[in-house]
Amino acid sequence: MKCWRVRPLPGGSALRGTMRVPGDKSISHRALILSGMAGEVEPEIENLLESEDVKATREIIRKVFGGGTGGEEKGSAETQKPKNAAEGGDPVLELDCGNSGTTIRLMMGVLSGRKGCCFRLDGDASLRRRPMERVAAPLRKMGACIETNEGRPPVRIEGRELIGTRVQLSVASAQVKSALLLAGLQATGTTEITSPAPSRDHTERMLNYFGVPVEGSGNGRAVAVRGPASLAPRPVSVPGDISSAAFFLVAAALIPGSELSIENLGLNPTRTGILDCFDAAGVSWEAQGIETVSGEPRGKVSVRAGEFSAFGIAGDLVPRLIDEIPVLALLAAHSAGGLSVFRDAAELRVKESDRIARIAEVFGRIGLVVRTRDDGLEIPGGQSVRGGTVSSGGDHRIAMTAAVAGLVSREGVIVEDVACVETSFPGFQETVERLAPGVIEAIEG
Ligand code: S3P
């Protein structure tokens, strides 16, 4: 098993300079999916994230829209096309989503409208534990034919004629909203989706950019698309992923003397909740040179280390920073004092792992006190990381949070099971090593 040994940054050294992080994962998935739906199976995408999750989407787009299995020469005997059951032969196209919730959920919307074709979507052990009825149930209201395995993958879909419908979501999930919008493109009539809180709007922005108007896009809770609609493919440039940048922004805030800038960073307001937390806590940061490229704002964000206070996370802020909560919990433990309460975040329990339980387990092993709630965490400030050995539990964001904890620890942290980091941040170890030579090494555990 691949592990990391992370040493504390030597006294007096800090994180300084200007860096970049890999392309945004959410935007990369959407660029491949929307381009595929627009007939571009091998699109030119600048700064596409080359991670395992995005590779899963790329392979699926090739199989579904390109008629190929991905690795073979074009037109070879292995070429598989989804077959109409009436034509005989194996009618089911098997699609492997790996660890990626975004791939399976968005593709459920895409495939539901592929009339005459049959698909089976599956993934790894973590994905097989994640809820899919939140997508399947509203899609069925549009006429989709979907079977789940007691609510979880594998998911079997028979493409059908879809009808635009009004849907009220019970969770503020961009994956569910996006699946319905992508189904809505293929449906007859208007598909209107209302969410309990705004969630990331990359799908809406990219649909608009590809020539399909989405009503109510922006920060609203209700969005609508009229089908059937066809997409006009356009070149996409992917900004850096703020969820990947979060590890370095927090590390820079914590390590005395640090002053770190991250350029070309995605700054979509539905994703910048971490910067709201910095404001609430008094962490010093600034954004410069903001411009909009292929429908998404980006710019340079700089953070400076200094003292900061406890901060809360609740309500509409939660979807704007949901993936950053593990590393924000580490930040909260180092506040000058007081209690940081993170609530309304029960969604954390159904991510790549139960992140509430995982954070409590990992923090406990490295000497940090944290109390769990059903819907979040309570984290006393004024703490510092002792060190120890922890397991990521196969969750990439837990692995990278534990690595940052190692940098600010007294005794160092061994992080077990770090291969999962490839799902979102290939090159994380090398990026840490460039900023702080000698602090991180890969070991076999
Ligand atoms: C994502 C949406 C979020 C997020 C995930 C990526 C997306 O999930 O946690 O990492 O690309 O739409 P939910 O939609 O389940 O909140």
β-sheet with 166-168: strand ranges across: 166-168, 189-194, 222-227
CB of 102 sitting under 6 A from ligand 1 = yes
Position 146 pLDDT exceeds 70: yes
Position 136 pLDDT exceeds 70: yes
Strands 413-416 and 388-391: parallel
CB of 323 sitting under 6 A from ligand 1 = yes
User: What span, in angstroms and rounded, lies between the C-alpha atoms of 386 and 408?
Assistant: 9
CB of 318 sitting under 6 A from ligand 1 = no
Position 47 pLDDT exceeds 50: yes
Which residue CA neighbors atom 4 of ligand 1 most closely?
A: 323
Listed by start position, the domains of the chain span 2-23+239-444, 25-237
CB of 401 sitting under 6 A from ligand 1 = no
Which residue CA neighbors atom 13 of ligand 1 most closely?
A: 173
Q: Relative to the CA of 319, which ligand 1 atom is closest?
A: 16
How many H-runs (helices) and E-runs (strands) does the chain carry? 12, 20
Q: What is the average pLDDT across 123-142?
A: 98
For 182-241, how does the pLDDT look when each residue is reduced to its tens digit (9 = 90+)? 999 999 999 999 999 999 999 999 999 999 999 996 667 999 999 999 999 999 999 999
Which residue CA neighbors atom 16 of ligand 1 most closely?
A: 173
Q: What is the average pLDDT across 349-377?
A: 98
Ligand 1 mean position to 102 CA, how many Å? 6
Strands 152-158 and 118-122: antiparallel
Percent share of the chain, pLDDT over 90: 92
User: What span, in angstroms and rounded, lies between the C-alpha atoms of 158 and 140?
Assistant: 11
| pLDDT number for residue 130 | 98
Position 58 pLDDT exceeds 60: yes
CB of 174 sitting under 6 A from ligand 1 = yes
Q: What would the two tokens of residue 291 be?
A: 């411009």
| pLDDT number for residue 91 | 81
Q: Relative to the CA of 351, which ligand 1 atom is closest?
A: 9
Specify whether 90 is catalytic. Answer: no
119 and 95 in contact (C-beta within 8 Å)?
yes
H or E stretch including 95? Answer: strand 92-96
User: What span, in angstroms and rounded, lies between the C-alpha atoms of 445 and 443?
Assistant: 6
How does the average pLDDT of the chain come out, rounded?
A: 94
| pLDDT number for residue 69 | 45
- Decide if 2-23+239-444 and 25-237 have a common fold: yes
| pLDDT number for residue 75 | 29
| pLDDT number for residue 217 | 65
For 66-117, how does the pLDDT look when each residue is reduced to its tens digit (9 = 90+)? 965 433 333 232 333 444 444 444 589 999 999 999 999 999 999 999 999 9
| pLDDT number for residue 380 | 98
200 and 137 in contact (C-beta within 8 Å)?
no
For 147-186, how does the pLDDT look when each residue is reduced to its tens digit (9 = 90+)? 999 999 999 999 999 999 999 999 999 999 999 999 999 9
Report how far Cα 122 is from the mean position of its chain's Cα atoms: 18
CATH 3.65.10.10 correct for 2-23+239-444: yes
β-sheet with 145-149: strand ranges across: 92-96, 118-122, 152-158, 145-149
The 3-class SS string of 211-231 reads: CCCCECCCCCCEEEEEECCCC
The CA-based angle 50-53-57, given to 5 degrees, is: 90
Q: Relative to the CA of 178, which ligand 1 atom is closest?
A: 12
| pLDDT number for residue 219 | 66
Q: Relative to the CA of 30, which ligand 1 atom is closest?
A: 11
Ligand 1 mean position to 352 CA, how many Å? 11
pLDDT band at 12 (very low <50, low <70, confident <90, very high): confident
Closest CA relative to residue 225, chosen from 270, 271, 187, 263? 187
Q: What is the average pLDDT across 375-393?
A: 98
Q: Which of 135, 175, 296, 316 has the most ligand 1 atoms within 8 A of CB, as the residue to mutate?
A: 175
User: What span, in angstroms and rounded, lies between the C-alpha atoms of 431 and 418?
Assistant: 15
Ligand 1 mean position to 174 CA, how many Å? 6
Contacts of 49 (CB under 8 A, 6+ apart): 22, 23, 24, 25, 28, 238, 241, 424
User: What span, in angstroms and rounded, lies between the C-alpha atoms of 30 and 126?
Assistant: 22
Q: What is the DSSP letter of 86?
A: G
**Burial class (CB within 10 angstroms; exposed 0-12, middle 13-18, buried 19+) of 390:** buried
CB of 175 sitting under 6 A from ligand 1 = yes
For 265-288, how does the pLDDT look when each residue is reduced to its tens digit (9 = 90+)? 999 999 999 999 999 999 999 999
| pLDDT number for residue 80 | 39
Q: What would the two tokens of residue 179 be?
A: 């699946």
Task: Single out the catalytic residue among 124, 201, 323, 417.
Answer: 323
| pLDDT number for residue 90 | 52
Percent share of the chain, pLDDT over 70: 94
Ligand 1 mean position to 175 CA, how many Å? 5
Q: Which residue has the tokens 């896009």?
A: 217
According to CATH, the superfamily of the domain at 25-237 is Enolpyruvate transferase domain (3.65.10.10)
Contacts of 22 (CB under 8 A, 6+ apart): 47, 49, 50, 51, 240, 241, 244, 425, 426, 427
Bridge partners (DSSP) listed for residue 23: 240
